[in-house]
């Protein structure tokens, strides 16, 4: 096995046979309790805001690790868990990511994006300047693994990668919010520079940079971002 493969190998036991286990955990709630819990969770998530201005207040690494462990519990295709979370705290490293991201954003806003796309972004108030990439205490770069290397050095294919990584990202954002932190999903396009800066193999695709921290005292959110579709537009019942 090459040193590079050994570095990125997976611990997934692909050679295991199917074995049934009793459900390890069960929830015993009445209908009223379920309604109450679901309403409480809805109220919690209503307080989640995408933030672009961050304070320099530190966040313990243990908080980030716990939230990523929660993200790692997400369901995935064949349970291959095709994700990797590159966590960056080092100021110099964050500066390099910011510089590379802003270069891509400059070309995006200068002509690569269509007028329609730029028009859609206008109510959000974004531009090529990304100071949050260096101000926030943590950046989490989320990578999708199209293939992986097993413990014996053999390459194997992952399935439903986009769906799996999307679910894990939702888990992560929710866990960070529950821990009292704010986030921003940042997707410079293209993002291939992140593989080199985060020392990840070419078989992985950077999906986004998740900016994590506490909002600045003067932080604001765009009014447009707080409009959400009503339930009769997002749910059909048959």
Q: How far apart are CA 119 and CA 128, in angstroms?
A: 15
Give mean pLDDT, residues 196-216.
97
Q: At 1, is the pLDDT very low, low, confident or very high (cuts 50, 70, 90)?
A: very low
Domains of the chain are 55-218 (3.40.109.10)
Q: How far apart are CA 238 and CA 228, in angstroms?
A: 23
Q: Half-sphere exposure of 75 toward its Cβ, with a 13 Å CA cutoff?
A: 1
pLDDT mean across residues, the chain: 93
The predicted pLDDT at position 9 comes to: 75
Q: Which residue has the higher pLDDT, 64 or 26?
A: 64
The predicted pLDDT at position 189 comes to: 84
The predicted pLDDT at position 6 comes to: 57
Give mean pLDDT, residues 124-132.
94
What's the count of helices (H) and strands (E) in the chain, helices before strands? 9, 6
Backbone angles phi, psi at 70, to 5 degrees: -65, -40
- 185 pairs with which residues across the strands? 210
Give mean pLDDT, residues 118-142.
95
SS (H, E, C) 46-68: HCCCECCCECCCCCCHHHHHHHH
Q: How far apart are CA 128 and CA 164, in angstroms?
A: 30
Q: At 152, is the pLDDT very low, low, confident or very high (cuts 50, 70, 90)?
A: confident
Q: Answer yes or no: are the C-beta atoms of 213 and 182 closer than 8 Å.
A: yes
- 155 pairs with which residues across the strands? 149
Q: Which residue has the higher pLDDT, 189 or 160?
A: 160
């Amino acid at each position: 096995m090459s040193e590079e493969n050994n570095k990125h190998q997976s611990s997934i036991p692909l050679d295991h046979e199917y074995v049934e286990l009793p459900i390890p955990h069960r929830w015993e709630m009445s209908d009223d309790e379920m309604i109450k819990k679901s309403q409480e969770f809805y109220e919690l998530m209503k307080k989640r805001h995408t933030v672009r201005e961050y304070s320099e207040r530190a966040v313990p690494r243990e908080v980030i690790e716990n939230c990523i462990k929660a993200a790692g519990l997400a369901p995935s295709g064949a349970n291959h868990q095709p994700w990797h979370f590159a966590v960056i705290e080092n100021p110099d490293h964050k500066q390099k990511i910011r510089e590379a991201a802003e270069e891509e954003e400059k070309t995006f806003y200068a002509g690569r994006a269509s007028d329609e796309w730029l028009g859609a972004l206008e109510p959000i108030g974004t531009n090529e300047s990304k100071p949050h990439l260096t101000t926030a205490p943590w950046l989490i770069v989320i990578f999708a693994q199209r293939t992986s290397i097993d413990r014996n050095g053999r390459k194997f294919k992952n399935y439903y990668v986009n769906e799996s990584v999307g679910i894990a990202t939702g888990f992560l954002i929710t866990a960070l919010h529950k821990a009292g932190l704010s986030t921003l999903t940042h997707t410079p396009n293209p993002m291939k520079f992140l593989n080199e800066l985060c020392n990840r193999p070419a078989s992985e695709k950077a999906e986004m940079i998740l900016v994590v921290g506490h909002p600045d005292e003067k932080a604001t959110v765009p009014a447009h971002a707080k409009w959400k579709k009503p339930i009769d537009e997002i749910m059909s019942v048959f």
